[in-house]
Amino acid sequence: MQFLTDRKRAVGKGSSGSGTEHFWGQAISALGLLALMPLFALTFGHALGMSYDEAIAYYQRPFPAIIAAMTIVTAMVHFRHGIQVVIEDYSRGVTKKVLVVVCTAISYTIIATALYGLGRIAF
Task: Give the pLDDT of residue 29.
Answer: 94
Statement: residue 42 has pLDDT above 90: yes
Query: For position 100, what pLDDT does the model report?
Result: 95
Min mean pLDDT across 15-19, 25-29, 39-43, 60-64 is at 15-19
Domain boundaries, the chain: 20-122
**Is the pLDDT confidence value at 5 over 90?**
no
For residue 64, name the pLDDT band (cuts at 50, 70, 90).
Answer: very high
Fold (CATH) for 20-122: 3 helical TM bundles of succinate and fumarate reductases (1.20.1300)
Q: Check if the beta carbon of residue 33 is closer than 8 Å to that of residue 75.
A: yes
CA dist 47 and 121 (Å) reads 14
**83-102 b/e (C-beta count within 10 Å ≥ 16 → b):** bbeebeeeeeeeeeeebbee
Confidence of residue 17 (pLDDT cuts 50, 70, 90): low
| Number of DSSP helices (H) and strands (E) in the chain, helices first | 5, 0
- pLDDT computed for residue 20 by the predictor: 77
Contact predicate 39/67, CB 8 Å: yes
What average pLDDT does the segment 23-29 reach? Answer: 89
Residue pair 46/99 in contact by the 8 Å Cβ criterion = no
For the segment 31-60, the average pLDDT, to the nearest whole number, is 95
